């Protein structure tokens, strides 16, 4: 559990550094996000006059839900204590509750920016969550269970060329990009109203509250990268419980994180952000991929 919290800002820093390098800038050091979080924690919170108790407690709720979800994904070892609670649908739903409360916080102060962020976020969430659940269905139909440890163990043992798995991977990548607010869905470093979704919801937060929310966003990104690694690239995850197995698991996990971060940075640099109302088409493609993957799976099964 502590591992994911410690690594999340590092992943964000790595992605920013790689993007900067690709833009021929030097970029901030990789540990800059840690410094940003420290700085935010030391600052005073400026709270709007009509903020309610919900506004003040949402950062903790969002962080707790995202941390639990991120901690449940098997990172370097499967079959750990409580690993049987790591149900894919439960993880999707935990992220859903984090998003639910964040959207409510956006509406709390009663500004138009909060409304913009919350309404667009819920539209994206509607399509992204359905696509995610369809992808979970495909994966569960391949692996025979929705429990992540058994999924990754199945994928390690019976690797084969599977069209459905490929389609599920692409769909999951699309959903991950949408849910984390990366280009082409949302620009994580913008403050223009035309392009804001996540930033608009958290516009009124400051100080330690904003630190919690930023850390939760980083944890969500780490969760999605770990999820893709655990399901589709499960080699190296320790299953036997030995110290050497754990060490190998940790090393491969760090390698997967690095690879995922670099791939995301290259993807973001090479593509432009979409108009808001083209995002449903983009996510609709993920939905169709999930459906098509399930159909193809039934064909190959019943032959």
Partner 1 sequence: MVGIDVAALCVGALFSLGLLAILFANRRLARTYIYSATIVPNAALAMLGVAVLAGVVGPSSTVLPVGLPWIGTHLRLDHLSAFFLIVTGIGGGLTSLFAIGYDRHDSDGSDHGYEAMRVLPFYPAFLGSMVAVVLADDAFTFLVSWEVMSLLSWGLVLARHHAEETRRAAYVYLVMAGFGTMALLLAFGLLTSGDGGYAFDTIRAGAHSPIGAAAILALMTLGAGSKAGLVPLHVWLPLAHPAAPSHVSALMSGVMTKVAIYGFIRVVFDLVGPLDWWASPMIVLLGAGTAVIGILNAVLESDIKKVLAYSTIENVGVIFCALGLALAFRANGMAAHAALAFTAALFHVFNHMAFKTLLFMGAGAVLNATGLRELDGLGGLIHRMPTTSVLVLVGVTAISALPPLNGFASEWLVFQSVLKSPDLPQIALQIMIPAAGGLLALAAALAASAFVRLYGVGFLGRSRSDAALRAEEAHRVSLAAMASLAALCVLAGIFPGVVVDAIAPAVHDMVDSRLPVQTIQPWLTLVPIAEQRSTYNGLLVMLFIAVSGSAAVWTIHRFASHRLRRGPAWDCGFPNADPMAQYGAASFAQPIRRVLGSVLLRVHEEVEMPEPGNNAPARLTVRSRDLIWEDVYLRVADTVAIIATRMNSLQFLTIRRYLLLVTLFLVGLLMVLTLWN
Partner 2 sequence: MNDFSFDVAHLLAGGLVLVSFMMIYQDRLQALITVFALHAVVLSASVAWQAFVQDATHLFVTAGIALFFKGMIIPTALHRIMRRLGIHREVEQVVGAGITMLAGMGLVALSIVLMLDLTAASGDVYVREDLAFALSVILLGLLMMVTRRNAVSQVVGFMSLENGLILAATGAKGMPLVVEISVAFSVLIAFIVIGVFLFRIRERFDTVDVGALDSFRGDKA
- Which residues of the chain form contacts with partner 2 (CB under 8 A)? 160-163, 166-167, 280-281, 284-285, 288, 291-292, 295-296, 298-300, 302-303
Per-residue contact track with partner 1, 224 to 263, x per CB under 8 A? ----------------------------------------
What is the DSSP annotation of 163-222?
HHHHHHHHHHHHHHHHHTT-TTT--TT---GGG-SHHHHTTT--HHHHHHHHHHHHHHHH
SS3 assignment, position 300? helix
Are the beta carbons of 269 and 23 closer than 8 angstroms? yes
Beta carbon nearer to partner 1, 263 or 292: 292
Could you tell which of partner 1, partner 2, none binds residue 175, using a CB distance below 5 to 8 A set by kind? none
Tokens 């993920």 sit at which residue?
286
| 80 touching partner 1, by CB under 8 A | no
Q: Measured from the CB of residue 36, what is the shortest distance to partner 1 in angstroms?
A: 14
Does 170 bind partner 1 (CB under 8 A)? Our answer is no
> What minimum distance in Å lies between the beta carbon of 191 and partner 1?
8
Query: Minimum Å distance from CB 193 to partner 1?
Result: 7
Dist CA 25 CA 20 (whole Å): 5
Could you identify the residue written with the tokens 């800002």?
9
Size of the site for partner 1 (CB under 8 A): 86
Q: How far is the CB of 180 from partner 2 (least distance, A)?
A: 23
Taking CB under 8 A as the rule, does residue 4 contact partner 1?
Answer: no
Strand partners, 77: 238
- 204's contact among partner 1, partner 2, none, with CB below 5 to 8 A by partner kind, is partner 1
Residue 55 to residue 72: CA distance in whole angstroms: 27
Q: Residue 107 binds what, of partner 2, partner 1, none (CB under 5 to 8 Å, by partner type)?
A: partner 1
**Residue 43 near residue 35 (C-beta atoms within 8 A):** no
Using rule CB under 8 A, residue 78 touches partner 1: no
Nearer to partner 1, 250 or 291 (CB): 291
Neighbouring C-beta atoms of residue 201, cutoff 10 Å: 27
What CA–CA distance (Å, rounded) separates 206 from 162? 47
In the block, tokens 């969500």 appear at 220
Cβ at position 122, least distance to partner 1 in Å: 4
Whole-angstrom Cα distance, residue 75 to residue 8?
13
Rg (CA), the chain: 19
| Residue 162 partner contact from partner 2, partner 1, none using kind-dependent CB cut-offs of 5 to 8 Å | partner 2
Looking up tokens 């540990």 gives 31
| 189-228 footprint of partner 1 as x/- string (CB under 8 A) | --x-x---------xx--xx--xx----------------
In the complex, minimum distance from the CB of residue 29 to partner 1, in angstroms, rounded to a whole number: 22
Contact 227, 196 (CB under 8 A): no
* Closer by beta carbon to partner 1, 224 or else 268: 224
């Amino acid at each position: 559990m502590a591992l994911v919290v410690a690594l999340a800002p590092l992943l964000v820093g790595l992605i920013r550094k790689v993007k900067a390098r690709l833009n021929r800038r030097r970029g901030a050091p990789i540990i800059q996000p840690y410094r940003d979080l420290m700085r935010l924690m030391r600052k005073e919170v400026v709270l709007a006059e009509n903020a309610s108790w919900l506004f003040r407690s949402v950062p903790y709720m969002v962080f707790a839900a995202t941390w639990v979800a991120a901690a449940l994904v098997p990172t370097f070892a499967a079959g750990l204590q409580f690993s049987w609670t790591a149900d894919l649908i439960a993880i999707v739903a935990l992220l859903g509750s984090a998003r639910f409360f964040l959207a409510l916080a956006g509406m709390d102060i009663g500004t138009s920016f909060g409304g913009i962020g919350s309404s667009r976020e819920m539209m994206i969430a509607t399509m992204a969550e359905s696509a995610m659940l369809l992808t979970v269905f495909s994966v569960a139909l391949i692996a025979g269970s929705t429990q992540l440890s058994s999924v990754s163990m199945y994928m390690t043992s019976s690797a084969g060329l599977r069209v459905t798995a490929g389609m599920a991977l692409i769909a999951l990548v699309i959903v991950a990009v949408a849910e984390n607010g990366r280009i082409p869905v949302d620009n994580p470093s913008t403050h223009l109203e035309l392009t804001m979704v996540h930033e608009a919801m958290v516009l009124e937060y400051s100080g330690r509250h904003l630190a919690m929310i930023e850390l939760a966003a980083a944890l969500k990104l780490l969760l999605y990268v770990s999820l893709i690694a655990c399901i589709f690239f499960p080699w190296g995850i320790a299953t036997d419980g030995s110290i050497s197995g754990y060490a190998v698991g940790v090393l491969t996990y760090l390698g997967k994180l690095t690879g995922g971060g670099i791939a995301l940075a290259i993807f973001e640099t090479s593509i432009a952000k979409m108009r808001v109302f083209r995002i449903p088409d983009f996510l609709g493609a993920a939905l169709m991929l999930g459906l098509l993957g399930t159909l193809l799976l039934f064909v190959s099964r019943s032959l």
